[in-house]
Amino acid sequence: MNRLPNLLAVWFGLLLAFGPTGCAVEPVKPQSPIPDARKTVKPSAESIPSSDTLNVGDRVRVVFSDIPTVVPPLEMQIPDGGELTLHLGHRFMFKGKRRDVLEQEIRDFYIDKGLYRIINVTIEVPPRQISVGGEVRSPGNYPHSGQLTVLKAIDMAGGFTEFSNRRKVKIIRDGKSIIVNCNKAVDDPEKYDKPIFPGDKVQVTRSIL
């Protein structure tokens, strides 16, 4: 007769431990909040590729304003070295820099040196062009964009004619000629497919055969 109360005590203990369903109840874990698409971190301006980068051969017009003295706008072409001499004889590297970044750099230089308290700098770049002539199907002037090479420039001009001398294609830059063997450039573009800069002239000569 004493066993019945003991069994009832055990039964109530199990009921309290496992609940009415007979299995342990696990606590509900809070769910991670769903990311809000509106709060997605945008890439910084520095990480976004820009087509506003200055290159060798670009013609630039540098305008100084908001200073006591009148400085005529400086119109120059970026040389192979990439540097240009500006107001008061100070030199700046133009090659490979974005215009807005370089404008701020030049402005900060003149202010940090104590030359001016206030100065504004604007760099203007006219439309970039190259010239492709000689034995191509559509000779003429073409816009320069991206990483342009000899073969790409010739493709822009419709390709070679049947009379072209593909072994002696000229790149004319600053009055100097660079000879390119386009047959080798097709086989090994990394070595022979030379870059084309704004202002360059590509001249495809006529074959004598």
In tens digits, the chain (209 residues) has pLDDT values of 555 556 556 566 655 555 554 444 455 555 544 434 333 333 333 333 345 789 888 889 999 999 999 999 999 999 989 999 999 999 999 999 999 999 999 999 999 999 999 999 999 988 888 999 999 999 999 998 778 999 999 999 999 999 999 999 999 987 899 999 999 999 999 999 999 988 899 999 999 86
Residue 18 belongs to some domain of the structure: no
Q: Read off the CATH number of the domain in which 173 is found.
A: 3.10.560.10
Residue 155: the pLDDT is 96
Q: Is the pTM of this model over 0.85?
A: no
Task: Residue 5: count other Cβ atoms within 10 Å of its Cβ.
Answer: 9
User: Are 150 and 113 members of one domain?
Assistant: no
Asked which of 57, 90, 124 is the last residue of a domain, the reply is 124
Q: What is the pLDDT of residue 16?
A: 56
Task: Please state the domain count of the chain.
Answer: 2
- pLDDT value of residue 128: 82
- Residue type for 94, please? F
CA angle 10, 12, 14 (to 5 degrees): 70
- Whole-angstrom distance, CA of residue 21 vs CA of residue 19: 6
Can you give the pLDDT at residue 43? 36
In 65-188, alpha helices (H): 99-112, 150-156, 182-187
Domain end position, chosen among 103, 124, 145: 124
Domain residues for 119?
49-124
Predicted pLDDT at 57: 82
* Domain end (from 98, 124, 150): 124
172 with 147, same domain: the answer is: yes
Half-sphere exposure of residue 182: CA atoms within 13 angstroms, side-chain side = 20
